[in-house]
Structure 1
Amino acid sequence: METTISDIFFDLDHTLWDFEKNSAMAFETILKKHGIPVDIAHFVALYVPINSKYWKLYQDDQVTQEQLRYGRLKDVFDSIGYEISDDVIHLLAEEYIHYLPQYNHLFEGTIELLDYLKPKYKLHIITNGFNQIQFNKLKNSNIDHYFETVTNSENAGFKKPNPQIFHYALEISNSKRETSVMIGDNIEADIEGALNVGIDAIMFNEHNIEVAENIKQVNTLLALKNYL
């Protein structure tokens, strides 16, 4: 990095915490528990893009937290033609939130990277996830002790890429945008959101999607050592 960096802000889901793998395990648990005879692999494959769609709507304040949790499951069941009552969908939505943080697969290199960065920088989290759930993910995966502050959309009152959530994170961490960097997987929420407020950014581009040439990016977490 050209500027001396003092603070690093990480996104959590899809960046450090392997959301897709943990989500699949949570669904396997609750669908089997309730005897719902669907192909779990097919269910999860449909859920991934539908969940992304609803998170984008939530990010843009077009759906509420409750609508996100219900709608993403309803759409999957509709997609596979499985008839299920609203009451059961609401129950599954609650149980999914309960079980999800209990599975704690991290992306390869997460611990090694955090061990490398911790002595050199102050580390923080900025996430659009919900407060208690994100806290449980950090705690149960035993990485909470690496981070000095955790900013989420509930305590900040804004969601990435809204500039206010980044301003809030800088304020509570007593950091300066000029000496901070944001690392995340979402080009709009994490990367453009940070750059728009003057925070440098590096994209964790695991799937090697095409992005503008001026965007710093890595395909593995440990490749961040080349920048930091």
Structure 2
Amino acid sequence: MKYDVILLDADETLFDYRRAAREALAGTCAAFGVPFNEEVHARYHAINDALWRLYEQGGTTQEALRVGRFERLAAALGASFDPAAFNAAYTAALGEGAYLREGALE
């Protein structure tokens, strides 16, 4: 049997997306001089999750979500950084984080 396309859901199936996201956020915070800890991680996830829910309801665009999450994070932390640049760095770092889940074969 010939297959034209094979689709794989890699996030949290083959790859540890949560670890990649955490490492990307920690690295981006370090690059922008923002201290990273569990509180920052939790705040980011609360903001990000709320904006994704808003997006799913048609209340925002993906671009506004991607930059807006870091605008809100900066405000919540009292930090000063360019949210668009932070998002670009975070997205690039996230793409580099390919951590296989336990049991996944390389």
Compute the TM-score of the two structures, normalised by the length of structure 1: 0.39
Q: Residue in 1 aligned with 2:19?
A: 21
Q: Is the 8 A contact 1:18 1:107 kept in 2?
A: yes
Q: Which has the higher helix share?
A: 2
The residue aligned with 2:99 is 105
Q: Can you give the 5+ residue segments of structure 1 that lack an aligned partner in the other structure?
A: 1-7, 112-141, 143-228
* Higher RCO (C-alpha 8 Å, min separation 6): 2
Distance 2:53 2:70 in 1: 15
- Larger fraction in strand: 1
Give the count of matched residue pairs. 101
1:10 is displaced (CA, Å) by: 5.2
Q: For each residue in 1:84-138, what CA deviation from the matched residue of structure 2 results, as whole angstroms up to 9, or x when unmatched?
A: 25xx111001111111110112332233xxxxxxxxxxxxxxxxxxxxxxxxxxx
Q: CA RMSD in A?
A: 2.4
Work out the CA distance in 1 between the residues paired with 2:15 and 2:58: 24
Residues 96, 39 of structure 1: alpha-carbon distance in 2 compared, 3 angstrom cutoff: closer
4+ residue segments displaced more than 4 Å: none
Distance 1:12 1:99 in 2: 17
SS in 2 for 1:107: coil
The answer to whether the aligner puts 1:84 opposite 2:80 as a matched pair is: yes
Counterpart position of 2:3: none
TM-score normalised by length of structure 2: 0.74
8 Å contact from structure 2 (residues 29, 36) kept in 1 = no
Among residues 81, 84, 88, which one is paired with 1:94 in the alignment?
A: 88
State whether residues 26 and 36 of structure 2, in contact with CA within 8 Å, keep that contact through their aligned partners in structure 1: no
> 1:74 is matched with which residue?
71
Deviation at 1:9, TM superposition (A): 6.3
Greater radius of gyration (CA): 1
Give the AA of the match of 2:24.
A
